[in-house]
Structure 1
Amino acid sequence: MRIADVSADAKPLEWHTRMKIAAGAAKGLQYLHEIANPPVIYRDFKASNILIDEDYTAKLSDFGLAKIGPVGDKNHVSTRVMGTYGYCAPEYALTGQLTKMSDVYSFGVVFLEMITGRRAIDTTKPTPEQHLVHWAEPLFKDKSKFVAMADPLLEGKYPMKGLYQALAVAAMCLQEEASIRPLISDVVVALEHLADPKNDDIDRAEQSAPISSSEVAQETAGEGNKEVLDSTSDQESYSFSSREKELNELDVV
């Protein structure tokens, strides 16, 4: 079954199931980007191309637009712009230069759909809310709005810190500057943590501990993740694993 075909009448997917599906889909991209030889860029990552079985294990389908990735000293593939509106990375749509980070952006859109319960493009909503990423951008910068971004069908049944961290991952994947998006392998690490309910208890225990000055700084960095991302904007590339411990230690107010 395609994840996009889940019936509106069906029971909404619970939080950890959503994180499991997202982690599985990210693993599919990880295989294409980092294990396949030569590497493959999926180019059309979207909800309707994710299949799930009865155990909610995710698999990617429809490789019709996939491209062999850059090899040697090349960092992109130049190709005709193809894909699905709402999911394409901005640099690819503008230049036709396709990279692995184009897939990471598209993953960020799908992951945001799973968190919010909204579609990438939804013309039934008011004009300012029709484009999911444009709707989310200002909310990412205001931590007090994070709860409002959660899918109402979850009815508040999610770990608060998990929501914050999931939105942090989505925000980093959706950075307009491709070079500061995380590697998909680092996204997998973060999502596997979020998918495991046992980590909720660990996070709650950490939240009850005294807050050090360094943790206060981390908390501030976590607000909308803008400060965290801005501090890395001068780097050639950005590794999410270098911030994994920091994100796992963010305290929820």
Structure 2
Amino acid sequence: MPWRAFCPSHHACHDGEKPSPLHPNHPDGCQRTTVPPHGSAGRHARSVQGPTLWKRVVVSKIENQARALSILGLDGAEEVWSFSLGVCPGDPDNREGVAARCYFQHLQPDLNRRCRDPLNSALNYGAAIVQAAVARSLVVAGFVPALGIHHHSQLNAFNLADDIMEPLRPVVDILALEVVESSCELSRQQRSKLRGVLLRTVCLENQKMTVLRATNRMGESLRGATTCEDASLMLTPTILAQGTETQCA
């Protein structure tokens, strides 16, 4: 019951309640000070709205992959974008996988994600940094990162983080291509630049913000989506070209 208070309410806040951060402009949105048992939201995310939430993640990821190709001036953006159309809840047709293959063929035709090379190392290193930030935001929001929406490996302690971070992967892809300039192993300086992925700018809620701030808002919005059983409340980011005056759409 306490978590239901994150949904827009038609009643004024009572004692022990305060305006919900998920609906800061909603005069009747209430957030009770009582906190549910740790991890209950993680179970809720997977069992109640899992397929619809995963659809939102997949669509956002594919759209951002198309944007990444456009930002980099590469071909294939329209082709990749087309895979985001008609994604069904749970993505039973695996449009995410098909789009990813098409995306990487245009991004780096010779790239083999199973090989050890500097670009793969950069992609993995950057993704690990984003994963850690997302996992932290999920814990703060009351989730157990191991209980995923789509990823469900018993050996992975970050299944939910891997789910939610998917739309941010193209940010890592762009930065990795900027950082890797040779066939040598990643240098300390290159790793330092990759850690800057959390300071890259994305668009969320029609506002420009850092990836780090976006992960916090994504965790909060997932809590609202699972509490209200409304997947549309989950926020997903839009990637932007860096160092420009690009505005949020």
TM-score normalised by length of structure 2 = 0.25
Bigger radius of gyration: 2
TM-score normalised by length of structure 1 = 0.25
